[in-house]
Amino acid sequence: MIGRLMTLTAHPGRGGELAAVLLGVADGLRGFPGCGIYLISQDAADPDTVHVTEVWRDEASARAALDAPSRAGGPDPADVLALLSSPPQRTDLAVLGGVGLPTIGGQP
């Protein structure tokens, strides 16, 4: 399994909008093959900073989600990018385990 931590910073005062768009992205990923966790969190100290915590079966699953067309009526990457004041920060992770971690395709 792989993981990602994404930190996105919205234009001032637009963190709630960014979080709402990302929650729409998360809704579109429900049941997506290989997606175990796609968690949206707003920074308690800075509401214009939004974090996305992802767990995927493998890199191919994560890539497939990025390459998939947006669902009808759902947000697309341009919707997210329009709200950002700077490029997203990404940290790649090797997922080892933990409480609440889902089973994805037979992998704990």
pLDDT digits (tens, 9 = 90+) for 38-74: 999 999 999 999 999 999 999 999 999 988 887 766 7
Q: What is the pLDDT of residue 21?
A: 96
Q: Percent of the chain beyond pLDDT 90? A: 70
In a domain, 108, yes or no: no
> Domain range holding 71?
2-94
Secondary structure element (H or E) that encloses residue 91, with its range: strand 89-94
Considering the domain boundaries, does residue 106 fall inside one? no
Instruction: Indicate yes or no: pTM above 0.85.
Output: yes
If one counts the domains in the chain, the total is: 1
Residue 57 lies in a domain: yes
Q: Is 103 part of a structural domain of the chain?
A: no
CATH number of the domain at 20, please.
3.30.70.100
69 domain-assigned = yes
Which residue pairs, CB below 8 angstroms and at least 24 apart, start in 23-30? 24/74, 24/75, 25/74, 25/75, 25/80, 27/74, 28/70, 28/71, 28/74, 28/75, 29/65
